[in-house]
Amino acid sequence: MNGLKIAIATGPSGFVTVNSILEASKASGTSRLDWLELGLAAAEADETLHDVGVGGMPDALGRMSLDAAIMDGPTHRAGAVAGLLGFRSPIAVARRVMDCTPHVMLVGEGAKRFAEAQGFTDEGALLTDYSRERYEAFLRGEVDLEATGDQHIDGGDTVGAIVMDTDNQLACGTSTSGLAFKMPGRVGDSPIIGGGLYVEQGIGSAVCLGMGEQMMQVGMAMRTVMKLAQGLPPQAAAEAAMRDMIRLRPSCLGTTCLVIALNQAGDAGGARTKEHPDFHYWQATQSGVIKIEAPVMGD
């Protein structure tokens, strides 16, 4: 049976994700894309995780506007949704975009109509007691978004995951509620193919966590995979891509950004701009789950 070789995933939600991927991979008749979708959906469904899905943070209008994407290595196909309102599992909708349409990304109203047509239920605001309370504090001016410079103070992370099966087939995906209390309509790197995620079968894959405005302007995930294509091991590739971003966009050093990569040999690596307790990643293999702290590339 084709099983899981390795999965890696970013941030606190990555723990839930890799464990769910590991669990999902034990069911017969399932594939890397099923494991990835179920792993990311488990994080989306967990209301204690304040970066993705129902537990996430709303935009400045108090709406849970979710972004997600999935990409498959062997078929080189991707699906994504952005600014999706009302649906608890944007990764499931992104997968349908990949599987059921000739398109790659659906946004806003169109994404919502598509999700409904696919049988997903519009659950309205999706705010939890915690996110409502934080949103009300934001409206009262009690949330200091400038304190960290990048809105990670109140959630606003991403779960990005990469899966490799025992046939060495790769897939990757992301899910996020984006920056906490973001400008309505704002979309970050996470659902952007090449920005927040990318996979090329035969080479490897990369996914990002952190300040989307920085990473999408350097094509961070694609850039990291191209470093793998040049023959760098994943750790060196992630560090080289991070050094490129620091050169091109020195302001990224004031923000938290993490890129993680997996090569075709199943080796992982990662690099981040600065210290942050949530900017680590998790790795699951048949021998268990471990937490990895990526090196800080800023001063």
Binding site for ligand ASP (CB under 6 A): 152, 156-158, 176, 178-179, 188-190, 209-212
- Residue among 25 and 255 whose Cβ is closer to ligand ASP: 255
Q: How far is 113 from 16, CA to CA, in rounded Å?
A: 29
Q: Comparing C-alpha atoms, which of 74, 58, 218 is closest to residue 124?
A: 58
- Residue among 100 and 183 whose Cβ is closer to ligand ASP: 183
Q: What is the torsional sign of CA 98, 100, 103, 109? A: negative
The total number of residues shown for the chain amounts to: 299
3-state helix, strand, coil split of the chain in percent (to 5) is 35, 25, 40
- Residue among 25 and 158 whose Cβ is closer to ligand ASP: 158
CB of 83 to ligand ASP, least distance (A): 11
109 sits in the region (left: phi over 0; alpha: psi -120 to 50; else beta) called alpha
CB of 167 to ligand ASP, least distance (A): 30
CB of 133 to ligand ASP, least distance (A): 20
- Residue among 79 and 212 whose Cβ is closer to ligand ASP: 212
User: Partners of 153 in the beta sheet?
Assistant: 155
Q: Catalytic residue among 10, 17, 158, 174, which?
A: 158
Q: How far is 261 from 114, CA to CA, in rounded Å?
A: 31
Q: Using alpha carbons only, how large is the chain's radius of gyration in Å?
A: 17
How far, rounded to the nearest angstrom, does the alpha carbon of residue 196 sit from its chain's CA centroid? 7
- Residue among 4 and 218 whose Cβ is closer to ligand ASP: 218
CB of 129 to ligand ASP, least distance (A): 22
Active site residue 158: yes
- Residue among 12 and 210 whose Cβ is closer to ligand ASP: 210
CB of 210 to ligand ASP, least distance (A): 5
212 Cβ contact partners less than 8 Å away, ≥ 6 residues apart? 178, 179, 187, 188, 189, 190, 195, 196
The neighbour count for residue 75, using CB atoms within 10 Å, is 12
The neighbour count for residue 251, using CB atoms within 10 Å, is 11
Structure tokens at 160: 């990005």
Amino acid at 98: M
CB of 211 to ligand ASP, least distance (A): 6
Q: How far is 164 from 3, CA to CA, in rounded Å?
A: 9
Q: How far is 173 from 169, CA to CA, in rounded Å?
A: 14
Catalytic residues: 158
